[in-house]
Amino acid sequence: MRLFLTDLDNTLVDRSDAFRRWACGFVAELGLPIEEVDNIEAIDAGGTIPRGELFATLVAHYGLLEPADVLRARYRQEFPRSVRCFPGVKAALAKLQSSGWTVAVVTNGDDAQLEKLSAAGLHALVSRCCASDLVGSAKPDSAIFYAAAERCGLDLVGGWMVGDDPVKDIAGATGLGLDTAWLSHGRSWPTELLPPTIAASSFSDAVDRILRRNQLAG
């Protein structure tokens, strides 16, 4: 058994698309111009700002009457259920399972991450899901990677980490004995960082190449 760690947002599931769809619904509900979707996406910063801050900013910026915590609670209930996986992800995870890999998701966030995994229909295709708020350590810290390996009963050495974030996913895993696959999504690799083992165009591309390398090595 070998360990296969993977990020969730914008790696297995299309978080950007789900957020854009949510923002479109939000501006429609408030009667705001559709152009405001771009502004809301900018405030969201790829989901990296705390949700309380996001809704406090939206309430202040648009002079909304509904309190931020009410909007946030509704978002918390609706958003995780709206995410979908990228094409080819289910087949790729099934291929990993049948090839003897143990797959664990390593993701920054709270229990909403587990709901996203279920909503995308991926729950049965992964062995473990380690969300930073529940583990008590967030990527790029090494503790969350070690926690994932321990929960799978496997070593990090010889395993892989796949993700779209150069720092949190790839730099975090580099140096822990893992090989890394970076999903570029059309971006260039930041030259100040040590490069990943491979750069891939999608999760399924990364899996195909990792399995091929593994066959050649084996």
CB of 199 to Mg ion, least distance (A): 15
CB of 86 to Mg ion, least distance (A): 12
Site for Mg ion in 161-200 (CB under 5 A): 164
Nearer to Mg ion, 7 or 14 (CB): 7
> Is 9 among the residues that bind Mg ion (CB under 5 A)?
yes
Chain centroid to CA 139: 11
Stretch that binds Mg ion, among 9-17, 70-78, 86-94, 125-133 (CB under 5 A): 9-17
Are the C-beta atoms of 112 and 133 separated by less than 8 Å? no
Say which amino acid occupies 35. E
CB of 22 to Mg ion, least distance (A): 17
Stretch that binds Mg ion, among 4-12, 24-32, 35-43, 207-215 (CB under 5 A): 4-12
The tokens describing 145, both together, are 């990677």
Stretch that binds Mg ion, among 5-13, 18-26, 27-35, 47-55 (CB under 5 A): 5-13
CB of 93 to Mg ion, least distance (A): 16
CA-angle at 80, arms to 84 and 134, nearest 5°: 120
Can you give the three-state secondary structure of the chain, one letter per residue? CEEEEECCECCCECHHHHHHHHHHHHHHHHCCCCCHHHHHHHHHHHHCCCHHHHHHHHHHHHCCCCCHHHHHHHHHHHHHHHCCECCCHHHHHHHHHHCCEEEEEEECCCCHHHHHHHHCCCHHHCCEEEEHHHHCCCCCCHHHHHHHHHHHCCCCCCCEEEECCHHHHHHHHCCCCCEEEEECCCCCCCCCCCCCCEEECCHHHHHHHHHHHHHHHC
> Is 44 among the residues that bind Mg ion (CB under 5 A)?
no
Nearer to Mg ion, 27 or 134 (CB): 134
CB of 7 to Mg ion, least distance (A): 4
Stretch that binds Mg ion, among 10-18, 42-50, 86-94, 125-133 (CB under 5 A): 10-18
Judged by CB under 5 A, the residue of 6, 10, 102, 127 near Mg ion is 10
Stretch that binds Mg ion, among 26-34, 90-98, 143-151, 158-166 (CB under 5 A): 158-166
Judged by CB under 5 A, the residue of 7, 112, 152, 159 near Mg ion is 7
Give the residues lining the site for Mg ion (CB under 5 A). Answer: 7, 9-10, 164
